[in-house]
Structure 1
C-alpha cells in the first residue's frame, strides 16, 4: 500500500480534530443532561411568561427531559437576555425574546447582549399593541387622549413595560405622527401595568391586544396597532384607520446562545416547529386572544438583521430613550 503526503496530512488533521469533535458529539447524544432552562425577561403572569410555560410543557416530551421557566425581570428584558448570552452554549440555557425590544435595546444603549450572541430557534407568537385606558377615563377615543396630550404636553402619563419595548415604541411613533407629548412611565410587566391603570395611577397604557382582551374588566381599548383589525377585537379600530401611520406588535420567540451545537439547535428547531402545529398550542394561544406565528430560526434571524437596520435608522431620527 502506498502512502502519499496528502494522505498523511489528512490523517494528521483528523487526529487533531478528533479530540475536539468527539466530546461535542458525545455531549449532543447525551442532551439534555439536566433541566433545560427558559429564561423570561419579565415577571410571572404576563403574556411572555404564559407563552414560555406553555411551550416548556409541550417541549418536555419532545426532547425527553425537564424544562423549567425562570423569570429574571429587568431593563425591558435585557437582564435575562444578557444572562443567557453569557451562558454555556450547551443547549440547557434558552431565552424568550420580545420584538422589538430584542433589537432596540442594543441600539439605544451599551447592552449586555447583541443579536450575534444568539442562535435563533423560532419565532412563535405575534400580538398587536393597543392603547388602553380605564373604563371610567374621560378619554373615550384615541383622538381625545391625543388632544389632551397636545394641550398639556407631558401631563398625560403613558405606561409601558420598558424603554424600547413594542408598547413604548408605539407611544414614540404616535407622538412623532401627531405632535402629542406623553410622560412615559415604566413597569416590569403586564400585571403591574394592569394594576397601575386599574388603580388610576396612569392615564393610559401600551399593552398588547391579547392580555387586554383576556381580562377586559374596567378597561377601554381605544385603538390597536395591527396591520388590520384583530379578529379577537373587531370593535377596536387600528391606528392606520384613525389616520396614524403606525403598526407595532409584540413578536415572541426563543433563542439559544451562539455556539450551541448544531445538532441540539436542529432538535430544538424541529421540536418548535412541531409544537407550533400542535392543536393544544394553537388552542391555548387563541384562548388568550393571541396569534400563533411560527418562523424557523434561520429565516427569522435573517429578517431580524434587516429589521435592525430599519430601527437603527429610526434611532438616528427619533432617539426613543428621550421620549
Structure 2
C-alpha cells in the first residue's frame, strides 16, 4: 500500500510540474499564447463576448489568445471532449448555462454537468420579449391581456427547445397565469427572423438582439435586475410585477486535470478583463450584463442554478 501511495503522489507531482512547465508559478502564467475554444459557430453571443475579451487578453496577460470554433450539438460536441485536453491552462473553453445543466438532464450527450470545470461566469444575456414595431402589442400588459383572452394563440419564437428562452417563456406563463405557444428555432438569428417576418406574434429572445435590429423590433420587457444601459426605456419584468430575472450565462471552463492554482489564475484573468473600462463599455452597449462569478464562488453558484433549472425543466417536461 505504501508503494501505491507513493506512486500516486509522484504522479500528482509530475502533473503539477507538467502543467506549469512553461510558466513557473501560477502567478507567472501565461508565458505564451493561449487557445480559447468556442463550442458554437462564429457570430453568436458566445463569439461576440469572447472577441471583446480577446481584445483585452494581451493587455492583462502579456500574451494573446486565439479563438477557435468547435460547433456541434448545441455545444455538447465540444464539452464532451473538454477533459481530453491537456490541463496545462493554455487551452480554455467557453461554457454556457442553462445548456450544460439541461442537456444531460434531457438525455445522453457525452458528458454530465459535474464532469465540467467552469472557473468563471463573466456575463449573462437577459431574456426579453420582442414584437415587431407594427405589432398590436404596445406594452407587456397588452400581450398578457390578449393571451389571457386567447389561450395558446400568442406564439413566441425562441432559440431552441429547453433553452433559456424556453425556460423564460414557461416561467412567464406561470407568473402571468396565461398559456402561450413556444416555437423553437435553431438559434437566435432564425428566431428573430421569424418575429420580423410575422411567422410568430412575438419572440422570447436575448436582449442583445435589440442592438442589431434597431427600430424594427419593440422590446416589451427584459429579464434583468435593473434596466439595461443599452435600453434605458425598456422596463424590467420585475418593475411590471413579474418575478422573472435570468438569461443565458456564459463563462470559461478548463479541463478537469487542470491544477487548482491554474484554475484560479484563469478565473482571475477573466475577472481582471471584466473590470477594464473598454470591455465594460462594449459589453453594456451590446446588451450584455456583466457578472463576476469566480472560481471560489463556483460551487455555490452552480448548486443554486442547478436547483433553479431543475424546477424549470419540470415545467418543460424533461429530466423526470
Match of 2:13 among 13, 21, 25: 21
Q: 1:17 to 1:226 in 2, by over 3 A?
A: closer
Q: 1:15 to 1:149 in 2, by over 3 A?
A: closer
State the shift of 1:92 in Å. 4.5
Partner of 1:196: 194
State the shift of 1:225 in Å. 1.6
Distance 1:190 1:137 in 2: 20
More off after superposition, 51-60 vs 12-21: 12-21
Q: Deviations over 1:229-266 (max 9, x none)?
A: 33432322222333333222332211112222334323
Q: Deviations over 1:128-184 (max 9, x none)?
A: 221001112222222333344444443432111122322211101111223433332
Distance 1:29 1:57 in 2: 26
Distance 2:148 2:274 in 1: 44
Q: Deviations over 1:36-86 (max 9, x none)?
A: 4433344322222100122234335626354223151543x4344334355
3-state DSSP of counterpart to 2:13: helix
Distance 1:85 1:160 in 2: 31
Q: 1:267 to 1:252 in 2, by over 3 A?
A: same
More off after superposition, 254-263 vs 45-54: 254-263
Partner of 1:319: 316
Match runs of 1:30-69 below 5 Å? 30=22, 36-60=34-58, 62=61, 64=63, 66-69=65-68
Partner of 1:296: 294
Aligned length: 311
Contact 2:18 2:88 in 1 (8 A): no
More off after superposition, 28-37 vs 92-101: 28-37
Distance 1:312 1:16 in 2: 37
Contact 1:128 1:225 in 2 (8 A): yes
Match runs of 1:84-123 below 5 Å? 84-85=82-83, 87-123=85-121
Distance 2:240 2:209 in 1: 22
Contact 1:160 1:187 in 2 (8 A): yes
Partner of 1:174: 172
Q: Deviations over 1:260-289 (max 9, x none)?
A: 233432331231122122222212212213
Match of 2:142 among 144, 147, 160: 144
Q: 1:183 to 1:89 in 2, by over 3 A?
A: farther
Q: Deviations over 1:91-110 (max 9, x none)?
A: 34433233333323333444
Partner of 2:128: 130
TM-score by length of 1: 0.82
Match of 1:286 among 284, 287, 298: 284
Q: Deviations over 1:1-30 (max 9, x none)?
A: xxxxxxxx79x9657633552354134222
TM-score by length of 2: 0.82
Contact 2:124 2:249 in 1 (8 A): yes
Q: Which runs of 5+ in 1 are unaligned?
A: 1-8
Q: 1:234 to 1:14 in 2, by over 3 A?
A: same
Distance 1:24 1:153 in 2: 59
3-state DSSP of counterpart to 1:207: strand
State the shift of 1:221 in Å. 0.6
Q: Which runs of 5+ in 2 are unaligned?
A: 24-29
Partner of 1:6: none
More off after superposition, 82-91 vs 227-236: 82-91
More off after superposition, 136-145 vs 82-91: 82-91
Q: 1:321 to 1:43 in 2, by over 3 A?
A: farther
